[in-house]
Amino acid sequence: MDVYVSTAWLSEVGWALLVEAGRLSGFRRYAEGVRAAVNTAVVEIARGVGLSPPSSVEVKGVEGFSPQLGKLREVAVRLISPIPIKRIQKWLAERLGASKASMGVALEWALATYVRVLRQKPAGLPEPVRDMLRLVYSEVQKTPRGERKKAAVQLMWLRMEAARRLAKALDLPVDKWWLAIIKEVEASGDPLEALRRYLGGEVPKIPSSNLFGDLMGRLLAEAKTSEEFRRLWWMRREALRRAAANKYERELVDYISRVVDSDPDFAAKLAEMAARGQKVEIPAPEPPDPDLAEAEVEEKLALFDKTVEEVLKDPEGVEKAIYKRAEFFETFYRWAKSALRGDLPERLGAKLRSALEVAYYCRPGGLMYAAKDAEEQKKPLPPEHPAVYAVKNYAKTWLQTA
């Protein structure tokens, strides 16, 4: 059962701790910092170290702080289980001699503990990276022994995009570390043992060999047919682009992306040449055809409309349906930002802008974006969850059925 904790409960000290936690961890979203703080606090309780009181952690005050309660109702962070926050509340109630500790107090103590742990600067991977590894580790533990390696590799590839975002946010080679761990897990007899080493403080060694060619070779080894190569290519394309060491390799990735749908066999031959270190002649890309660009936008919007209709008809409710499709909205948002151009027909451009706004609020972290926008623009939040409101508004404007 999901539970929400709200940053509106925080005092000035609590907000200062949240800001400091974001600075130390590299998290840019309040939601990520809050979740990491709650998880870290539970770990510290389990280790017997306990929690740190907010007054024991020195932080700089927040300028112009004013209580949020009642102003930003939707500044909420979704936790997938109530158990961690309840453990913190129970620990505090026992230590403070109270019948119960509120969630707001529990959250401030969790943030203080998180800041204290971050300041200890433990050796090894940055805490956000280890948080991702902990999630993978906990899921793999639940998997039958014979399927653990496959499950670990799949779970890590699913988080590759998050590793790339962390690489940009922290200015560290997080994506290359992540790829190195994937490679080691694939080669290991016990994936849990490999993951434990990196959770325990070890940093993966980034091979000095041709990482780009190595990744190409692994992709080819996995793809048994041309159709499978095409499917795997779109899954691994961004990882290959990040592994590219120079302009030529980046252009090669773009070239294969242009031809893989129409001629996957030829695309696979290009990948084989790259894996062997052979030079590929890359023709200059043709100028985009405006008609084809419009057709692509219409095709993507048709898929978006279909997804919105599925969300509205989902028996579990609109909000739950949005959470289930959050990755689709994230992918659509990234594409729509690049596809929005001034030369689109007026109605098509207007619809794409509306869809872009919906995807902005429906992607992971959309609730926090909405709260931040409302605070910066001094405007109230919509009467219901911003993502739900955006989906319904889009349906009323652009779909036949709302």
Q: Please state the domain extents for the chain.
A: 3-119, 127-199, 211-275, 290-398
Residues 26 and 166: their CA atoms lie apart, in Å, by: 8
> For 283-311, what is the HEC assignment?
CCCCCCCHHHHHHHHHHHHHHHHHHHHHH
Chain centre distance of CA 223: 27
Residue partners of 392: CB distance under 8 A and separation at least 6: 312, 318, 402
Does the pLDDT at position 75 exceed 70? no
Residues found in the chain? 402
Give residue 266's pLDDT. 92
Sign of CA pseudo-dihedral 125, 197, 200, 2: positive
Does the pLDDT at position 305 exceed 90? yes
User: What is the pLDDT averaged over residues 61-82?
Assistant: 60
Residue written as token pair 């030529």? 248
Does the pLDDT at position 210 exceed 70? no
One-letter amino acid for residue 120 of the chain: Q
Residues 271 and 277: their CA atoms lie apart, in Å, by: 10
Q: Single out the residue of 24, 20, 1, 25 nearest to residue 10, CA to CA.
A: 20
Does the pLDDT at position 290 exceed 70? no
Integer CA distances (angstroms), 314 to 25, 272, 319, 323, 367, in order = 37, 44, 9, 12, 20
Helix (H, G, I), strand (E, B) or coil at 202: coil
Its pTM surpasses 0.85 = no
User: What is the pLDDT averaged over residues 356-381?
Assistant: 78
For residues 78 and 198, which has the higher predicted lDDT (pLDDT)? 198
Does the pLDDT at position 70 exceed 50? no
Least confident span in 4-13, 24-33, 173-182: 24-33
Least confident span in 157-166, 354-363, 366-375: 366-375
In this prediction, residue 73 has a pLDDT band, given cuts at 50, 70 and 90, of: very low
Q: What distance, in Å, lies between the first and last C-alpha atoms of the chain?
A: 29
- Partners of 6 in the beta sheet? 76
Least confident span in 45-49, 184-188, 202-206: 202-206
Q: Characterize 284-309 residue by residue with b for buried, 16 or more Cβ atoms within 10 angstroms of its Cβ, and e for exposed.
A: eeeeeeeeeeeeebeebbeebbebbe
User: DSSP secondary-structure letter at 55?
Assistant: G
User: DSSP secondary-structure letter at 121?
Assistant: -
Does the pLDDT at position 284 exceed 50? yes
Sign of CA pseudo-dihedral 29, 35, 39, 40: positive
Does the pLDDT at position 208 exceed 60? no
Question: In 171-283, which ranges are continuous DSSP H helix?
Answer: 174-187, 191-199, 211-222, 226-243, 247-259, 264-275
88-132 confidence digits (pLDDT tens): 999 999 888 888 888 888 999 999 998 888 777 555 788 788 889
Residue partners of 268: CB distance under 8 A and separation at least 6: 220, 223, 226, 229
Residues 275 and 150: their CA atoms lie apart, in Å, by: 24
Q: Characterize 153-175 residue by residue with b for buried, 16 or more Cβ atoms within 10 angstroms of its Cβ, and e for exposed.
A: bebbbebbbbbbebbeeeeeebb
In this prediction, residue 207 has a pLDDT band, given cuts at 50, 70 and 90, of: low
For residues 7 and 135, which has the higher predicted lDDT (pLDDT)? 135
Mean pLDDT of the chain: 82
Does the pLDDT at position 287 exceed 90? no
